C-alpha cells in the first residue's frame, strides 16, 4: 500500500502497510486529528486502497476505481457530514444493500466529534455487526467527542503533525514564488498541520494569479509523484476555458524553465534536468495542440499520459 499525497506520518503509513499485508485492512477506522492534519487525504487513500483493482500495489491512482474515488463519483462510497440519528438509521439500512460495482461499500462520516449521542449510539450495531463488505471511516477533529463505545469498535488512526523541516520543504516546492520568510512563517503558524498553511497560501495565490496557482498545484503533484493529485488536477483542467488553459500552460512552462535554470546551475538541485526537459516537452506539445485547435479534452488526455509516466518512474 502506498500513500501519495500524505506527508509525514511515517509510523502510521508503516502500520497500515503491514496490516494490509498481514491480515487485510480493518472494517472500521477512526481518523483523528485537528483541522488540516490530513484526515481527508488519508480517507481518500484508504477508500482507494479498498476499491482499487490493481494487482500489484494499491491505490494505483490510474484505474477506473481510483479515478472514481478521487473524483468523488464512486457509487459505493458515501460521505456524510455530522449525521442526525435519522441519517444514521438511513445509512444503516443502506449498508445492507450490496455494493454496486466493487466488492466493498464505504461510509465516511465527517465531523464525528459533533455527532449527537443518539446518532452515535445508532451507529454502534452496524459498526459491530454490519455486513462484511461494509467499511466505516469516522473522521474526528477531537477524539474526546466520540463515545468510548464507538471508539472501541474502531481502530484509531491518529494523524500527527509534520515537522517544521518537512513542512517547510513541502511548502517551498508547492509555492515556489512565495518569499521564504512567508513560507517559514506559515510553516510555523500551522503547527505541523500543513493543510492549514496550504489553504491560506493557496487562497492568496489564487487571488493574485489563478493560472500561476493552478500551475503550482499541478507541478507540485508532478514533483511529488502524487498520481492521485495529478489525476484530480487533470480533471479540473479539463473544465478550463481555452484562455484559462493557455494561461495555465504558459505559467507551467515559465515555472519549468525557471526550475530548469536552477537545475543546471546548482549542484544540489532538487530535480534532474532530464526530468524537467521531459515535462517541458509535454507542455510544448500541449501548446502546439492548443494553437492547432485540438479539443481540450484531448489535451487533458495528454496530461493523463504524463501521470502514467510519473507512475512508471516509481512512487513515493
Ligand atoms: Zn487503482
The 10s digit of each residue's pLDDT in 37-69 is: 999 999 999 999 999 998 888 998 878 888 888
Cα-to-centroid distance, 72 and ligand 1 (Å) = 14
* C-alpha cell recorded at residue 86: 435519522
**CA distances, 301 to each of 4, 112, 253 (Å):** 21, 38, 18
The average pLDDT across 119-144 equals 96
Cα-to-centroid distance, 178 and ligand 1 (Å) = 34
Listed ranges 200-204, 266-270, 286-290; the one with the highest mean pLDDT: 200-204
If we measure between CA atoms, which residue out of 249, 246, 243, 240 comes closest to residue 215?
249
294 confidence band (pLDDT: 50, 70, 90): low
Cα-to-centroid distance, 9 and ligand 1 (Å) = 22
Provide the mean pLDDT of the chain.
88
Q: 88 vs 313, which has greater pLDDT?
A: 88
Cα-to-centroid distance, 57 and ligand 1 (Å) = 8
pLDDT at 116 over 80: yes
Cα-to-centroid distance, 68 and ligand 1 (Å) = 10
Res 47: pLDDT = 96
pTM (two decimals)? 0.81
Cα-to-centroid distance, 127 and ligand 1 (Å) = 26
22 confidence band (pLDDT: 50, 70, 90): very high
Cα-to-centroid distance, 212 and ligand 1 (Å) = 30
Res 86: pLDDT = 97
Res 315: pLDDT = 45
Cα-to-centroid distance, 231 and ligand 1 (Å) = 12
Helix, strand or coil for residue 56?
coil
Cα-to-centroid distance, 67 and ligand 1 (Å) = 7
pLDDT at 112 over 90: yes
**CA distances, 157 to each of 32, 33, 285 (Å):** 6, 9, 44
* Residue 229 · residue 40 · CB < 8 Å: no
Cα-to-centroid distance, 16 and ligand 1 (Å) = 17
Cα-to-centroid distance, 70 and ligand 1 (Å) = 10
Helix, strand or coil for residue 297?
helix
Cα-to-centroid distance, 50 and ligand 1 (Å) = 9
Cα-to-centroid distance, 166 and ligand 1 (Å) = 27
Question: What is the per-residue pLDDT across 199-255, written as a single tens digit (0 to 9) for each?
Answer: 999 999 888 889 999 999 888 888 887 877 887 787 777 778 888 888 999 999 999
The average pLDDT across 247-267 equals 85
* C-alpha cell recorded at residue 268: 544540489
Strand order in the sheet with 77-81: 77-81, 105-110, 134-140, 28-32, 155-158
Res 100: pLDDT = 87
Q: 217 vs 118, which has greater pLDDT?
A: 118
Cα-to-centroid distance, 313 and ligand 1 (Å) = 17
Helix, strand or coil for residue 16?
helix
Amino acid at each position: 500500500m502506498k500513500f501519495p499525497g500524505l506527508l509525514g506520518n511515517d509510523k502510521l503509513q508503516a502500520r497500515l502497510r503491514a496490516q494490509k499485508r498481514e491480515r487485510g485492512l480493518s472494517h472500521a477506522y477512526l481518523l483523528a486529528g485537528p483541522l488540516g492534519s490530513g484526515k481527508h487525504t488519508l480517507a481518500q487513500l484508504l477508500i482507494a486502497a479498498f476499491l482499487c483493482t490493481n494487482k500489484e500495489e494499491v491505490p494505483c491512482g490510474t484505474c477506473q476505481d481510483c479515478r472514481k474515488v478521487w473524483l468523488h463519483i464512486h457509487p459505493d462510497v458515501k460521505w456524510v457530514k455530522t449525521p442526525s440519528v435519522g441519517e444514521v438509521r438511513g445509512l444503516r439500512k443502506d449498508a445492507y444493500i450490496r455494493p454496486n460495482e466493487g466488492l466493498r461499500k464505504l461510509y465516511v462520516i465527517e465531523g464525528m466529534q459533533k455527532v449527537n449521542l443518539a446518532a452515535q449510539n445508532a451507529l454502534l450495531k452496524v459498526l459491530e455487526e454490519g455486513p462484511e463488505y461494509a467499511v466505516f471511516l469516522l473522521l474526528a477533529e477531537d477524539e474526546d467527542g466520540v463515545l468510548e463505545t464507538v471508539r472501541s469498535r474502531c481502530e484509531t488512526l491518529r494523524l500527527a503533525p509534520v515537522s517544521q523541516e518537512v513542512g517547510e520543504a513541502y511548502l517551498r516546492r508547492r509555492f515556489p514564488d512565495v518569499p521564504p520568510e512567508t513560507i517559514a512563517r506559515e510553516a510555523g503558524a500551522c503547527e505541523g498541520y500543513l493543510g492549514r498553511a496550504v489553504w491560506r497560501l493557496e487562497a492568496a495565490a489564487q487571488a493574485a494569479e489563478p493560472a500561476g496557482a493552478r500551475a503550482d498545484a499541478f507541478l507540485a503533484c508532478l514533483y511529488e509523484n502524487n498520481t492521485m493529485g495529478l489525476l484530480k488536477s487533470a480533471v479540473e483542467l479539463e473544465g478550463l476555458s481555452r484562455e484559462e488553459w493557455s494561461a495555465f500552460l504558459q505559467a507551467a512552462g515559465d515555472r519549468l524553465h525557471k526550475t530548469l535554470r536552477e537545475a543546471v546551475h546548482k549542484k544540489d538541485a532538487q530535480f534532474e534536468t532530464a526530468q524537467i526537459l521531459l515535462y517541458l516537452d509535454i507542455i510544448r506539445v500541449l501548446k502546439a495542440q492548443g494553437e492547432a485547435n485540438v479539443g481540450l479534452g484531448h489535451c487533458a488526455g495528454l496530461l493523463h499520459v504524463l501521470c502514467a509516466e510519473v507512475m512508471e518512474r516509481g512512487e513515493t
